[in-house]
């Protein structure tokens, strides 16, 4: 009887539980409602957008914003460039971070602590965009995609994540493989890496999202319209639609491009593709 009463009291829904539930529901609504607004606005006309500051369900849904965005050939260039960033940058980042993290986990080689401190220093203090540009120009990489991919090829934060995970691997596994005649690359590839799958998946996610959202470095180093990133292309489409609306200010309100709807459509397209990348 006592156990059943204690169990009933333990399952009782109290005031604290109600407050926590209300806070969770409120937090969920704060996330869901703006997302619904983004989706709804992307399907609205210009007239409906200026009539209401918040749209929950469009009265006359239209695909005009998506048609305006897709018919621009630059969107294909953006996808091509950004996919190249992801397909080349993510494996490069994974290889460099894993190799360096494994090297730091191997104790006994001279200068290990000093080099490790120097790498950590770059996490806090960076050289800035001007030295980076000068280095890329001196290496004749300015104007190529390598000027965007290589500076992000080694990420100190990702390296530290992998390093901490490698340090949790039993030292006996590495020592036994070494006694069997395996070299460092063999130990890394066949012993350590198979044990790093969870953290490597996390690093792949971080790196893929970073390269997918790449905008600033691409804008600095790549001046050719044939190598614009997706973020640059979407920004250009939104800006062009706003300019065209300003030029056509005297046009019929039904015929104007809805720059706000195009902006929301760009957000949704980027978000959907990003989820597929993940």
Q: Which residues contact 270 (CB under 8 A, 6 or more apart)?
A: 230, 231, 234
CATH of domain 74-226: 1.10.3720.10
52 has a pLDDT exceeding 80: no
Its pTM stands at 0.72
Query: How does pLDDT run across 87-111, given as a tens digit for each residue?
Result: 999 999 999 999 999 988 888 788 8
Q: For residue 50, is pLDDT > 80? A: no
CB distance 205 to 274 below 8 Å: no
In the chain, where the domains are located = 13-62, 74-226
Mean pLDDT, residues 71-85: 83
Question: What are the pLDDT digits (tens) for 166-223?
Answer: 888 888 888 888 888 888 888 888 888 888 899 999 999 999 988 988 888 888 888 8
Q: How confident is the model at residue 260 (pLDDT cuts 50, 70, 90)?
A: confident
CB 217, CB 151: distance < 8 Å? yes
Confidence (pLDDT) at 246: 55
Give the lowest-confidence range in 42-56, 127-141, 252-266: 252-266
Lowest-pLDDT choice from 17-21, 163-167, 195-199, 254-258: 254-258
Supply the DSSP symbol for 227. G
Task: Please give the average per-residue pLDDT across 106-127, as a whole number.
Answer: 84
pLDDT of the residue at 226? 82
Higher pLDDT, 255 or 109: 109
For the chain, give the percent of residues with pLDDT over 90: 16
Assess whether pLDDT exceeds 70 at residue 161.
yes
Average pLDDT over the chain, rounded to whole? 80
Q: What is the CA radius of gyration of the chain?
A: 26
CA distance 11 to 24: 19
Q: Which of 37-46, 160-169, 217-226 has the highest mean pLDDT?
A: 160-169
pLDDT of residue 40: 82
- CA distance to 79, 132, 226, 232, 271, per residue, from 217 (Å): 16, 10, 15, 11, 21
Supply the DSSP string of 160-222, one letter for each residue.
Answer: HHHHHHHHTS-HHHHHHHHHTT--HHHHIIIIIGGGGHHHHHHHHHHHHHHHHT--HHHHHH-
């Amino acid at each position: 009887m006592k156990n059943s009463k204690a169990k009933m009291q333990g399952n009782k829904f109290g005031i604290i539980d109600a407050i926590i539930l209300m806070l969770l529901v409120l937090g969920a609504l704060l996330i869901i409602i703006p997302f619904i607004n983004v989706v709804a606005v992307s399907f609205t006309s210009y007239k409906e957008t200026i009539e209401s500051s918040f749209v929950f369900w469009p009265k006359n849904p239209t695909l005009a914003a998506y048609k305006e965005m897709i018919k621009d050939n630059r969107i294909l260039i953006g996808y091509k460039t950004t996919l190249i960033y992801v397909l080349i940058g993510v494996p490069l980042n994974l290889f460099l971070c894993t190799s360096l993290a494994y090297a730091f986990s191997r104790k006994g080689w001279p200068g290990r602590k000093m080099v490790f401190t120097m790498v950590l220093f770059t996490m806090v203090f960076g050289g800035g965009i001007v030295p980076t540009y000068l280095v890329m120009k001196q290496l004749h990489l300015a104007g190529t995609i390598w000027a965007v991919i290589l500076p992000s090829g080694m990420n100190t934060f990702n390296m530290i994540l992998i390093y901490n995970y490698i340090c949790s691997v039993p030292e006996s596994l590495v020592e036994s493989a070494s006694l069997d005649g395996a070299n460092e690359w063999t130990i890394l590839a066949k012993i350590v890496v198979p044990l790093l799958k969870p953290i490597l998946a996390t690093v792949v996610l971080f790196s893929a999202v970073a390269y997918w959202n790449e905008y600033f470095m691409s804008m600095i180093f790549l001046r050719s319209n044939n190598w614009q990133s997706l973020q640059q292309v979407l920004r250009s489409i939104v800006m062009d639609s706003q300019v065209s609306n300003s030029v056509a200010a005297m046009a019929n309100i039904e015929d104007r491009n809805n720059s706000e709807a195009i902006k929301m459509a760009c957000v949704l397209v980027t978000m959907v593709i990003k989820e597929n990348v993940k």
